[in-house]
Amino acid sequence: MYGSPSHGVHLTDAPAGRADRLGRVSTEAPGPESTAHVPSGTPAAASADRPRVASRIAAIAESATLKVDAKAKSLKAAGRPVISFAAGEPDFATPQHVVDAAVQAAQDPRNHRYTPATGLPELKQAIADKTARESGVSVDPSQVIVTNGGKQAVYQAFQTIVDDGDEVLLPAPYWTTYPEAIRLAGGVPVDVFAGSDQDYLVTVEQLEAARTPRTKALLFCSPSNPTGSVYSAEQTKAIGEWALEHGIWVISDEIYQDLVYDGVRFTGILDAVSALADTTILVNGVAKTYAMTGWRVGWSIGPADAVKAASNLQSHLSSNVSNVSQRAAIAALTGPQEPVEAMRAAFDRRRKAIVEGLNAIPGFVTPTPQGAFYVYPDVTALLGREWAGSTPTTTLELADLILEHAEVAVVPGEAFGPSGYLRLSYALGDDDIAEGVRRLSELFSA
Ligand SMILES: Cc1ncc(COP(=O)(O)O)c(C=O)c1O
């Protein structure tokens, strides 16, 4: 099941006028801006033959996680008592001392101006310090680029190192943004699938089987979104050494590094294999650790040439991240860390409750995740059977049925790779978790 090109998944009902991956536009009735009635022979008529939206951009799938979350919110707004396990963000408020630093920053005219595109020097220093402390690698602040969330860091990393036709090995299940970011750079995502029987962790043998002369990079995400799986120090080292041996770049997404449980220690890929530093880009951010998803502060760290190229890109794309948010991030990284531990402890408690609850439902096989705030049950046993009057054959259909009949929102596995799985975030209150699991249990006990 590995080595196959990823085709992305469209959970979406394509909006009218949207082109498919080949640039063919839907034949639905033309909208008010249609050029359908322009006489032939005019320049406008000639352009009518071409897709209105560039095929490169029209081919991007809507974020499935955001779509499910939006659907759950709109049902809730319509009065339905929906419990949503769909969100990919902490439910806690940002720690008060971080908010206070931002309020103060907003009052300071120095923050009202453009600042260096790659970030405030104090923040870059704080990021270098955190990286030494937690990722086990010493970096110079000049290697850091502060980005508009980890998402921009991911996008820029692929833009920086991937050329047209380059293959990027993508362990699946994967975060839904990676394949889109790879394609936008002209690359070809190559799925390397690991199922629940291997705790969703790929092996060096699988990676090697998928390697070709066109393989340029490996995406490595530990702890993982969507599975919560964490690679051990030994597994990380083996993968890092394999990448080094074959000259394969590694984009290592460490955004969940502080959210680990059961005494597990996060191991950074450059801590495991320091010689890989010349071909590795680290991605990280404050969003998940500090409950700061809305503040939009992430970063990338890499070797000098890649950093220079990515800074040039960012200088034309977005320039500096909001100074107020950067000041807040400095407070988060350098201030008291007790709020982080309190949130981690709450996630840990919820993790245990949801795993226990789901595994008590026949048909759910839920490995115990050791990181992030997601569980990823294998529900293949529920497919092809009748539930509440219908017989889902994919997890897309199953997720719809669950929302309709149990008023519980979950994200189908198709958003992250193969069908047969569901992602549930446990970043919600203990009572909601208990009630959501109870409803699932009721639906599938029939
Ligand atoms: C694995 C992973 N990387 C990066 C990000 C980006 O986070 P942000 O852009 O909010 O910093 C996310 C967010 O969901 C994520 O799950």
pLDDT in tens, the chain (446 residues): 333 444 333 333 333 333 333 333 333 333 333 334 444 455 555 567 888 999 889 988 877 777 787 888 889 899 999 999 998 889 999 999 999 999 999 999 999 999 999 999 999 999 999 999 999 999 999 999 999 999 999 999 999 999 999 999 999 999 999 999 999 999 999 999 999 999 999 999 999 999 999 999 999 999 999 999 999 999 999 999 999 999 999 999 999 999 999 999 999 999 999 999 999 999 999 999 999 999 999 999 999 999 999 999 999 999 999 999 999 999 999 999 999 999 999 999 999 999 999 999 999 999 999 999 999 999 999 999 999 999 999 999 999 999 999 999 999 999 999 999 999 999 999 999 999 999 999 999 86
Ligand 1 centre from 151 Cα, in Å?
6
Can you tell me the distance from the alpha carbon of 444 to that of 382, in angstroms, rounded to the nearest whole number? 8
Can you tell me the distance from the alpha carbon of 413 to that of 405, in angstroms, rounded to the nearest whole number? 19
Tokens 């120090």 belong to: 233
Ligand 1 centre from 49 Cα, in Å?
38
| pTM summary value | 0.89
Can you tell me the distance from the alpha carbon of 7 to that of 131, in angstroms, rounded to the nearest whole number? 34
Ligand 1 centre from 229 Cα, in Å?
16
Other Cβ atoms less than 10 A from the Cβ of 316: the count is 8
- Tell whether ligand 1 has an atom less than 6 A from the beta carbon of residue 350: no
Can you tell me the distance from the alpha carbon of 61 to that of 75, in angstroms, rounded to the nearest whole number? 23
- Tell whether ligand 1 has an atom less than 6 A from the beta carbon of residue 172: no
Ligand 1 centre from 435 Cα, in Å?
28
Probe ligand 1: pick from 127, 222, 225, 318, max atoms within 8 Å of CB?
225
CA 195 from centroid of its chain's CA atoms = 18
pLDDT at 5: 44
- Tell whether ligand 1 has an atom less than 6 A from the beta carbon of residue 254: no
- Tell whether ligand 1 has an atom less than 6 A from the beta carbon of residue 416: no
Phi-psi region of 411 (alpha: psi -120 to 50; beta: other; left: phi over 0): beta
- Tell whether ligand 1 has an atom less than 6 A from the beta carbon of residue 195: no
Angle at 396 between CA 393 and CA 398, to 5 degrees: 60
pLDDT at 3: 39
pLDDT at 61: 81
pLDDT at 7: 39
